[in-house]
Amino acid sequence: MFRKLFYLVLFVMVLSGAGNALAQDYRDWDDGHPGDHLWSSPANWGPDGLPTMIGDSGNRTRIESGSGGGDYPILDATIFAVDPNGAFADRLYVGDGPGDGSTAKLWVTDGAKLTISDDLNIAYGNDSHGICYVSGSSTVIEILDGMKVGRRGEGTLIMTGGTINVGGTIEIPSNTGTASLNIGHIQLNGGTITCAVLTMRPLNSGVIGTGTMDVRAGTLIINGDAVSTIQGYIDNGWITAYGDYGTLQLDHNVTNPGKTTLEALHLLNPNPMDGSATSSSLNQLQWTLPEPNLPGGVVTCDVYFGTDPNVEGNPKVVIDQAVESVSVALASLTTYYWAFDLYDSSISTTEPFHLSPIFTFNTSNTAPVVDAGDDIATWR
């Protein structure tokens, strides 16, 4: 009887140890083995093997600051050759461990899919730095719980395309940090972020929280009526449009039924709208010039337009003219980039007084929808 009881206790201890090991099943970004940055290469992870989603909150995937001497993972469509369901992680940390001055990075691009069963933490470690880049029109990140941008350090999300769906709360920064300073920023240049709740600048005991968001061609969608909360963030200057050169458009139950939607429009009112899709039959670009600084002045512009993302590599279709449209010929299924230099004759300088961001749109075979909006007579 004693021997049986001893074996039973030993068996329970073994199972308990296995459970603890499972709860600490880390996948650390190691890189350097196959000579690429790809998330989809198993040898890039230590211990070797891709991160998995096993439903245990202790299963963590870590990209540490300075990992692999500055290497970083790129999650792209090659992941589908490994798993037709895309990439998985239970908890994902971009910027784990104490800060050493370096920045942990993750690139999610080119139509990749990533599913996170718990939460995404950008800058998890004390005083760490983490950046997550998301791009690609069909890229999808599904986060079943929450996203913390600036957990215990300085975290940044830069999004130019794709979709991020967050089942819980987005915190900018996190209110659970224990470092002396938490910084979080979302740069929503394109794509769509959906979430249940958005919180910004929470204050914890002894913690200074700094959270900001700049909206450009992207869209933020929040469940339910969050207009008063988001408007408060806007009034505090925590959410801006085009770096304060645009206006924010906020509504509930209008753009998306039952949801709060936040979008932005640049004060130049570019048409086609930034980040939009239009028909190749469109034959004219339109915009709205600002008023001069002083009465009697004249505002003119240079307009760069073409298919080069480095917009200055494109020709100027307008040179120092006070016009608000120009005729162009568009090809189908093409991405275009355009930008402005603005000049004001009432300002004594030959340099442009404002350099616009790079606007972009792509052509499809759908009929164009043209809405330049109301004229804007002020500039700030």
Instruction: Spell out the domain ranges in the chain.
Output: 19-266, 276-364
Is 50 exceeded by the pLDDT of residue 252?
Answer: yes
Least confident residue range of 48-52, 142-146, 291-295, 369-373: 369-373
pTM: 0.85
pLDDT digits (tens, 9 = 90+) for 235-247: 999 999 999 999 9
What's the pLDDT score for residue 178? 57
- What separation, in Å, do the N-terminal and C-terminal C-alpha atoms of the chain show? 85
Least confident of 55-59, 95-99, 222-226, 259-263: 55-59
HSE (side-chain half, CA atoms, 13 Å) at 203: 2
pLDDT tops 50 at residue 29: yes
Tell me which of 144-153, 175-184, 262-271, 295-304 is least confident.
175-184
Q: How far apart (Å, rounded) are the C-alpha atoms in residues 81 and 135?
A: 20
Confidence class for position 152, pLDDT limits 50, 70, 90:
confident
Q: What is the CATH number of domain 276-364?
A: 2.60.40.10
Hey, CA dihedral for 33, 34, 35, 39, is it positive or negative?
Answer: negative
What confidence score (pLDDT) does residue 96 get?
A: 78
Please give the Cα distance from 248 to 246 (Å, whole number). 7
Residue 53: other Cβ atoms inside 10 A: 18
Q: How far apart are CA 50 and CA 72, in angstroms?
A: 15
Residue 373 has pLDDT above 80, yes or no: no
> Which residues, at least 6 apart from 327, have a Cβ–Cβ distance to it below 8 Å?
283, 284
Q: Supply the pLDDT for residue 228.
A: 97
168 burial type by CB count under 10 A (0-12 exposed, 13-18 middle, 19+ buried): middle
Averaged over 217-229, what is the pLDDT? 98
The residues, any chain, with a CB within 8 Å of residue 243's CB and separated by 6 or more, are 214, 357
Q: Are 380 and 244 in contact (CB under 8 A)?
A: yes
Whether 6 shows a pLDDT value over 50: the answer reads no
- Tens-place pLDDT, residues 318-361: 999 999 999 999 999 999 999 999 999 998 888 888 878 999 99
Q: CB-based contacts of 147: which residues, under 8 Å, 6+ apart?
A: 119, 120, 121, 122, 157, 164, 166, 169, 170, 171, 195
Cis peptide before 270 (omega within 30 of 0): no
Query: Average pLDDT of 68-72?
Result: 62
How many whole angstroms separate alpha carbon 121 and alpha carbon 172? 11
Q: Token digits for 310?
A: 């480095």
